[in-house]
Amino acid sequence: MNSSKEQLFRDVVTSLDEAGHRLGVLHGDKDHSERYDLNKDVDLISEDPAQVPRILSDGKIASIVRAFKGAQNPLYTLYLHRQCNGKPVFLELDLWTDCRRKGYIFFDSEELLETRKTFEYFKVLSPEFEFACYLIRRLIKGLDKDRAQRLSELYMEDPVGCDIQLARLFPRSEASLIAEAARSGNWEPVFYHLEHLRRVALEKVSHEQPLGKLKFWLSQITTRVRACVRPEGLMVVFLGTDGAGKSTVTARIEQDLAPAFSSTKRYHRPVASPLRWMKRYRAQSDSGGHTSASVSVAGMDAQSLQPHPPGKPPHKLPASLLKLGLWWADFTIFGYLLSVYPRLVRSNLVLLDRYYDDLLVHPEGYRYGGSLRLARFVGRFVPHPHLVILLDAPPEVIHARKPELTFEETTHQREMYLRVMEGYSNGHVVDASRPLDEVVDEVELTILGYLADRTALRLGLR
């Protein structure tokens, strides 16, 4: 177990315990000594999950960089962050109010928390309730031999208590079938009747809670609408002259911050777009109708936003205006609406190396011969990222790294990027002339600070 994560989890449990908040660590696939893999989420039964963020925030245990409110259960998913030895450490907590599946409550929090047992520095559910909750979970999500063996282990810790809970959940014949399988370790009859047992368990509880399914679907709809209106994902754009280290830094950011998101995606351009299709067509035409092995779709993705080689004149006005329109569609419709926004709804971290602003910095590199004033006006209607980070360095440093551009051009582009950043209230300029680790640390802390502030605002903690 990661010692930094374990210490963070220990501090979380201690803080909640000192605040008088009752908490129980939920079931797992293995016994207590092995089961808590903190590289995954930790399921917790809480007497009031809405109070947990406030307690952790007031105690300064960790920053909450994301807090996703789910449909009934888990009520909250919290992503906690703490710096340890200069590296970000993350811990995901799933906070439950009860044992609930498909909208039906099988056991409430009062009953589960009242019978907790102490294990090391935290408390776990009693064997009978851990067995019952784990059984319901596996019947609905799927049961295999390893998980069935875990159920047998739990059953043998308290056969009498487990039989009592089975009698609450199932009719006599089904309860006897499961009890016999748990005692003998032969779960084949249960596997054979798995669908029947799942249906019986849900039918029994649905008679007691007739509105459970309706409430569940309504909460699911509410959750999805909230995710669309206020996505949990993050879009970060990196700007800078060639040689500033954008590709290297974004690769590190993607790796280090991945545990705080459901997934990550790093783009040079968000999606296959008209501009890239045109470039691919030209590449095929230049090669006699066949794209060479070195010009792959992935390669086009990485290079399509790069400036044209020097020496080619700008397009004439009609072609430039057409290209500006395609450029806007590329970033707004094909890029953001069709590719980036769905990822933000799914709580992804989206990193973009280059953006629309590159056209404003060196239009000649993209053979744009139209009005820059018009280009700036069109840029107002391009989706704004959550954060814009400029990797900046003195022209001497950039030119030494990338001597392909003249020193004068490097100086000019740097000045233009700094001017572009003045228009962003969410812009941050980072000195990229320092060692890579220092640059990455500053960028990560900037991103994590933004996430923590956004989460605190959404939770009403500030």
pLDDT tens string 114-135: 999 988 889 999 999 999 999 9
Which band of pLDDT confidence, cut at 50, 70 and 90, is reported for residue 219?
Answer: confident
Which band of pLDDT confidence, cut at 50, 70 and 90, is reported for residue 381?
Answer: very high
98's CB contacts (< 8 A; 6+ apart) are 45, 73, 105, 106, 107, 108, 109, 112
Which band of pLDDT confidence, cut at 50, 70 and 90, is reported for residue 293?
Answer: very low
Amino acid letter, residue 199: R
pLDDT, residue 36, reads 57
Does residue 280 carry a pLDDT above 60? no
pLDDT, residue 13, reads 93
Rounded to an integer, the average pLDDT of 9-15 is 94
| SS3 of residue 83 by DSSP | strand
Share of the chain above pLDDT 90, in %: 63
Return the domain boundaries, the chain: 3-225, 233-459
385's CB contacts (< 8 A; 6+ apart) are 235, 236, 237, 352, 355, 426
pLDDT, residue 296, reads 29
Could you tell me which CATH number the domain at 233-459 has? 3.40.50.300
Chain mean pLDDT for the chain: 86
Does residue 140 carry a pLDDT above 50? yes
Higher pLDDT, 175 or 293: 175
- In the chain, the largest separation of any two C-alpha atoms, in whole Å, equals 85
Tens of pLDDT, residue by residue over 313-354, are 888 899 999 989 988 998 899 889 999 999 999 999 999 988
